[in-house]
Amino acid sequence: MNLYRVFLQNNLYLRRLQTPSVLFIFITSRCNARCQHCFYWKQLESKEDMQLEDYKKIISSLKNRLSTLILTGGEPTLHPQLFQCVEFALKENNPRIIAIPTNGILTEKITELANFFCQKYPKTLFDFSFSLDGSQNIHDKIRGVEGCFEKTVASINRLKKLKAEKKLQNLGINVVTTVGEHNLRQLDDLFFYVKNHLDVNHKIQLLRGSSTGVFGIDRRQLSGLDPQISTDFSEETLGDLRATISRVQETYEASPLQKLKLSVQLDTLEGRPIQMKCVAGVNDGVIYQNGDVAICEMLKPIGNLKDFHYDFSALWNSKKVRNYIEKLHCRCIHNCNIVSNMKYDFRSLKKMWGLDKKTKPFDDLL
């Protein structure tokens, strides 16, 4: 397909969106870990679940089919009605992808969830991302749970076995590593371990919070969601970070999308000009378990669904919210938002398709 035609089609799709294509729903603030780099750690004390009836109203009020529904938290597998949440979204909206980021501690529930839904809905991709941030001792220390590493690895292996035995082509299994100064030196060994012992897709995301890596906005508009540990990268660390990431990406053949995403993140941190427009507030949206709605995790909520009877579309398309979003010109290092931005940016599409450099085409994004 002609690249320029794809670019135009993508942007025409963006203009027609009445509600997000990518929606993050924090279905719970409960968690069975206490990760040092979690930006949501203060909210975990509330131990609050989104009520199923409220969740159903939100999903029913969406005007567009979701490309990706991310059910997150807290630890999403702790929500007592997670199965009902997934089932209702599939029946009511039929998202192309349902993504569940998890610490991997609850192996049985994760396996049961994957087994049931992958077989029942073979046309939907169920994408599980497991957090691994270093060797066993380092990972357990970061996560605040003894034995966390072993349980996460056990969950990954169970899903791999399930996928192979039942030939589940719609089961995605990923390892995600959050990289900061606290574990940068672990990256080479961890990539080697994941490749040689787990052999699943391995992604990197940079340690983030609303206080670091956000530019072009009044600081008073920031959400205040920051980890307990520092998210600052020194000039020396940024150089080491770029060199280390480049090395592991070349060694383990990262996709053009992953390479470009991390390049944009590092360029942003280093203060280099980024021409790519952010589509958060149009393509991407965030809903917290208490009903708060934000255009991204970096910024304060723009309203609460309780005031709109959990009609997400009514809040999202209100004049106040649209005017607010139109005035934004900020940029940040948020992993997921950058990936969305690249879908609508011609330069990014060109690079991912291998027309700018000799890289493999990567059109999963399109």
Q: Is 246 exposed, middle or buried (0-12, 13-18, 19+ CB in 10 A)?
A: middle
Segment 343-361 mean pLDDT: 75
Q: Are 130 and 155 in contact (CB under 8 A)?
A: yes
Looking at residue 356, its pLDDT comes to 57
Domains, the chain: 3-352 (3.20.20.70)
Provide the pLDDT confidence category of residue 361 given band limits of 50, 70 and 90.
Answer: very low
Looking at residue 234, its pLDDT comes to 83
User: Token match 């599409």: residue?
Assistant: 349
Of the candidate ranges 39-53, 77-91, 227-241, 244-258, the one whose mean pLDDT is the lowest: 227-241
Provide the pLDDT confidence category of residue 213 given band limits of 50, 70 and 90.
Answer: confident
- Predicted confidence (pLDDT) at residue 360 exceeds the cutoff of 50: no
Distance CA 97, CA 253 (A): 24
Segment 11-33 mean pLDDT: 97
Q: What is residue 184's DSSP assignment?
A: G
pLDDT in tens, 244-266: 999 999 999 898 899 999 999 99
Looking at residue 75, its pLDDT comes to 97
Looking at residue 365, its pLDDT comes to 41
Token readout for 39 is 């930006």
- Predicted confidence (pLDDT) at residue 358 exceeds the cutoff of 80: no
Average pLDDT score, the chain: 93
Distance CA 282, CA 26 (A): 19
What's the predicted TM-score (pTM) here?
Answer: 0.94
